[in-house]
Structure 1
Amino acid sequence: MHTGRINIMEQIKQAPVATQKVLWSDTEADVSSRSASGTTLESQELDAKATKRLLRKIDCHILPIMCTICLLCFLDRANIGNARLDNLEQDLHLVGLQYNDCLAVLFPFYIAAEIPSNIMMKRIRPSTWLSFIMFAWSACIIGQGFVKNYQGLMATRALLGAFEGGFFPGINFYITQWYRRNECGLRMAIIFSSATLAGGFGGLLARAIAEMSGVGGLSAWSWIFIVEGLASIVVSLVAYWAIHDYPESARFLSSAEHAAVERRLSADSGLLSNEFDMKYIWQAFADWKIYIHMLICMAGFCPVYSFSLFLPTIIKNMGYSANNAQLMSVPPYVFACVFTIGGSWLADRCGQRGVFLLGFQLVAILGVALLTASENTAIQYTGTVFAAVGIYPQIPLGLAWNGNNIGGSLKRATGIAMQVMGGNCGGVIASYVYLSRDAPRYIVGHSILIGFIGMAFMLTLFMTTWYRRENIRRDALARETVNDVLPLEQEVLERELADGVSWFRYTI
């Protein structure tokens, strides 16, 4: 907890303090919200069936367009791995590490765009911002299909990173504006699962587009970029009309449903401040917990990007032809999709994140170890499946975990963007994990991934333990002050402390 919070908390501790538990596992009937005047308002909550109907209605209007954009975003970012098998390097005369440089140059621009983009999500409509950046990155992908040399590919990849950078942190913040904390994980997993499908779908699509080689005087790899870029352009135009900005302005909700959503979100956040004020951005920058989550995310994104960029090449070096390698890259992603959704659903049901992250990290280590230890093609391919199953669920689980544990919408928007920034530092590393000189076994690259996943495991174990102990400490404080009354002035101070307030409980 940073110095500013300590000073205010000391002031609060010196006066009578009321603690209001907002537990992650609380039912709506258990939670009462407090107004700015300090009056306790009993929420007129929906019953269980009505709540399910409301959530299904929101899901039907929010998730399909978000899944479609996410699928195309990851398809556009990772299709260079498929294009590589269709003579991209030979046609552009790439030598040495130039291909890896073209992968890596995307990420510094991607990282630089993330926090400004999430601030823009707070300042203007999500439908406007998300559709704009999607249109821009789609144009970059189409341009990528017409490059003639190394310099052209570097330039289009840099622009792609600058425009794509706002999407992933933006979409994670956007989901927290519609759902309670214990409902975000599954929704994020459903959206991110479309990214795993992008890996499999990309292989099938690349195999089909390969038949276009020579059309218009362009190689198959050019058509991969052009066709997929055009599809993204179309969706970006549709997205402007399909994205609903926030619950209060959603036309598909009735007035009663507007009020119900507002009550649910207010009860879940404990009425923490949601105003736009730079101090909440600085709170995020000063929060050590977010930096730990940045490292966990970096250690998770490194294997994700390594697989999405190099899996077709890894499988090809097992002895498969280029076309068969495109097809053989599909099953690992299908399994990853199933476990990504299933793991996050179970995590939501159990009210925990850390223990599930730990389990998937162990599965990922097993999968990469099989790739490293055996020369048998069947065992190596089995390793890719286990690795994908262990790697991909970590991303939505980790993002939901961090988002659940940040109070206040602006601090949460900044903290999520910081986390994804850390994750995409892993993308820079991933670009150089698998080098041509290490083919066909890539022992060095596999060993690097085991090291990163192992680091994520230790950091996840530390944060799980810390959150658990901090919740116990706050529970003890709550029992000591349960009959005290919180004056208005101190309540206002607490509202500005985000997750540092005495009644906030962390998700473990």
Structure 2
Amino acid sequence: MDSKPSPPHSVEEKDLQQDLYNPDVDTSGIDEKKLLRKVDMWLVPWFALLYTLSFLDRTSIGNAKLYGLEDDLKITDRQYLISLTVFFIAYGLFEVPSNIFLKRLRPSVWFAIIMTLWGLIMTLQGVVHNFGELVGLRWLLGMLEAGLYPGMAYHLSCWYKRSELGIRTAIFTSATTLSGAFGGLLASAISNMNSVGGRPAWAWIFILEGLATIVVGIASFWVVQDFPDSPNVKFLTEAERTFIIRRLQGDDQFSAAGEKLRMANVMASLRDWKTWLNLVQLMGCDMPLYAFSLFLPTIIDQLGFRATAANLLTVPVYAFAAIVTCSVSLYADKYGRRGYCNIVMLSVGGAGYIILIASRNAALSYFAVFIATCGIFPVVPNTVTWVANTYEGSYKRGVSLAMAISMGNLNGAVSSNVYRAVDRPWYRLGHRLVLMYICIGIISNAAFLILLKRENARRDRGERDEVIGPDTLEDNGNGRFATVEDAKRAKGDNWSGYRYIL
């Protein structure tokens, strides 16, 4: 007896079946919470370690300065500022191509190569003899470090839902606070090695931190995981990997199962108005971040504390910043109010800098430093997460993230020159310029929030709806597609059903 034929499927049902990732794999037995904890343990702690070393390596020159770097190399304060500046220029220029290479290559290979090489450069900084050698190595350090932070931010966005990304980004970005605290403690300890092997204390700061980076860089080849659509991800079963990708696709990340590199993907980022406003947003928080991190030991030192005490007094500041950063990210993830959080925290940070400008008391200035951290450290990961949440299409997201972070880091070149020796001990010019950037951050975040709200409202009213059906239907100007899935793939975050997180 012949079996009864199955009923015909609608076009939409057939298309959904065709687009189901690994349709033959059964994921019904997967415990989602247990799987997320597993992914967290493999990705986040190691990324936090990598970024701790990255930020430690780029900012340790501030600690080295306290132990005689300028005097031994016979460089002026202006030359010291130039050595800081060239790092950020190189860092900013190489971020976009690095993210494209990351997607084309395996993250485990890319991160291992760049970390090992910059660890070598870091070590060589400990044996420089003059200004020219220092500047050359700082350029190379910036070029190689450029691939890490935007790469890790993009990599995590390919593993988590948009509502889960903030706290993960905050945890590994909080490595900036850990590196600041640990950098002060480490520099204080290494200072006891002064004259060991004929090298001064500042040289040993570079050498030992560089060697640690080399070791971790080599280990990254085996520890760093690739993208979830890659069969090289060995810590997951095929069912777990399939589950991860399907849940991302259910979160409107339609490209989670893989996407080919096409110039159109890159151009889509360049044509999107959001990308250009994101550049200004990252300016508003990255310049204050680097100014604060590079010069906090110097600022405290000029308030009347000696080098070792100045380094140690940075520790509670960074510990406080880490707590605030993770708390803000948890709130933003839960309630989806990233823009509101940025505006509030930037305003608090601005108040801290107003106190720093007005203060002539060391204790009050030290207190104001804690307030200032609230407008710096939580805003950076929250903005990066907001940018990642705003784009669909893996290459478009990667390029947009890299461009925004690149612009932010180029403004690190500005931060390298605002705390001049001539302005000591209160550094009013530096504080005023940082406050100006915080105001830029408030304005750009408010503008981005308002524009995204308006766009979501237009989509709610149906003004962006595409025509779905045969060619005989009239195009309404928003595009005509055979199925909804075709519209999703073609338009990404411009699809009428996509909603922006505010």
- Common fold by TM > 0.5: yes
- Aligned counterparts of 1:497 and 1:223: Cα–Cα separation in 2: 53
- Residues 54 and 226 from structure 1, CA distance in 2 versus in 1: closer, same or farther, beyond 3 angstroms? same
Q: CA deviation at 1:489?
A: 6.6
1:203 and 2:184 aligned: yes
Q: Distance in 2 between matches of 1:487 and 1:138?
A: 51
The count of residues paired between Structure 1 and Structure 2 equals: 476
How far, CA to CA, are the matches of 1:33 and 1:163 in structure 2?
A: 47
Report the residue type matching 1:137 in the other structure: W
More divergent stretch after superposition (288-297 vs 273-282): 273-282
Give the match for residue 125 of structure 2. Answer: 144
> How far, CA to CA, are the matches of 1:110 and 1:99 in structure 2?
18
Structure 2 counterpart of 1:26:
none
**2:140 pairs with 1:159:** yes
Do the aligned partners of residues 140 and 373 (structure 1) sit closer, same or farther apart at CA in structure 2, a change above 3 Å counting? same
Alpha-carbon distance in structure 2 between the residues aligned to 1:406 and 1:446: 34
- From 491, 495, 500, the equivalent of 1:501 is 495
- The residue aligned with 1:100 is 81
Equivalence for 2:334: 349
Q: Given that residues 33 and 271 in structure 1 are in contact (C-alpha distance below 8 angstroms), is that contact kept between their aligned partners in structure 2? A: no
Superposed counterparts of 1:77-476, under 5 Å: 77-248=58-229, 249=231, 250-272=233-255, 274-476=259-461
* 1:241-269 deviations in Å (ceiling 9; x for gaps): 00111224321112221221111011113
Alpha-carbon shift at residue 37 of structure 1 (Å): 5.2
- Report the alpha carbon displacement of residue 197 of structure 1 after superposing the two structures with TM: 0.6
Q: Could you tell which deviates more after superposition, 376-385 or 252-261?
A: 252-261
CA pair 79-37 structure 1, distance change in 2 beyond 3 A: same
- C-alpha deviations, 1:82-104, integer Å up to 9, x for none? 00000001111111410100000
TM (normalized to structure 2)?
0.90
* Change over 3 Å in CA distance of 1:224–1:96 after alignment to 2: closer
* More off after superposition, 158-167 vs 481-490: 481-490
Q: CA deviation at 1:487?
A: 4.7
Specify the SS of the correspondent of 2:384. helix
Rounded Cα–Cα distance in structure 2 between residues aligned with 1:70 and 1:321: 28
1:496 deviates by: 2.1
Structure 1, 487-496 or 119-128: larger mean CA deviation: 487-496
Q: What CA deviation, in whole Å up to 9, does each residue of 1:342-385 have, x standing for no partner?
A: 11011000112100101110111011111111111111001111
Partners of 1:380 and 1:315 in 2: CA distance: 9
Contact 2:469/2:483 (<8 A) preserved: no
How many angstroms apart in 1 are the aligned matches of 2:64 and 2:103? Answer: 37
Q: Does 1:50 align with 2:31?
A: yes
Deviation (angstroms), 1:468: 1.0
Spell out, residue by residue over 1:126-178, the C-alpha distance to the aligned partner (whole angstroms, 9 max, x if none). 00001100001100000000001111110110100110011111111100111
Q: CA RMSD in A?
A: 2.4
Measure how far apart 1:50 and its partner are.
Answer: 2.3
The one-letter code sitting in structure 2 at the alignment partner of 1:387 is: A
Shift of 1:282: 0.8
Given the superposition, is the C-alpha separation of residues 87 and 352 from structure 1 closer, same or farther in structure 2, using an over 3 Å criterion? Answer: same
CA contact (8 A) 1:471 1:506 kept: yes
Structure 1 position 74 matched with structure 2 position 55:
yes
1:453 aligned partner, one-letter code: I
Q: Is the 8 A contact 1:434 1:442 kept in 2?
A: yes
- SS of structure 2 residue aligned to 1:309: helix
Instruction: Return the alpha-carbon distance in structure 2 between the equivalents of residues 84 and 39 of structure 1.
Output: 57
Flag the 1:144–1:38 CA change in 2: closer, same or farther, 3 A: closer
Rounded to whole Å, the distance in 2 between the matches of 1:266 and 1:113 is 30
Q: Which has the higher contact order (CA 8 A, sep 6+)?
A: 1
Cα separation, partners in 2 of 1:39 and 1:321, compared to 1, 3 Å: closer
8 A contact 1:38–1:488 mirrored in 2 = no
What amino acid is aligned across from residue 500 of structure 1 in structure 2? N
Separation in structure 2 between the aligned mates of residue 449 and residue 407 of structure 1, nearest angstrom? 33
Runs of 4+ in 1 over 6 A off after TM superposition: 38-41, 43-47, 478-486
Going from structure 1 to structure 2, the CA distance change for 1:210 and 1:392 (only over 3 Å counts) comes to same
1:431 counterpart letter in structure 2: S
| Matching residue's letter, 1:288 | W
8 Å contact kept, 1:33–1:267: no
* Long gaps (5+) in structure 1: 1-19, 21-31
Deviation at 1:329, TM superposition (A): 1.1
Distance 1:46 1:372, change over 3 A: farther
Decide whether the 8 Å contact of 1:332 with 1:389 is kept in 2: no
Q: CA deviation at 1:469?
A: 1.4
Deviates more, 1:378-387 or 1:267-276: 267-276
Q: Is the 8 A contact 2:20 2:246 kept in 1?
A: no
Q: Which amino acid is the alignment partner of residue 241 of structure 2?
A: H
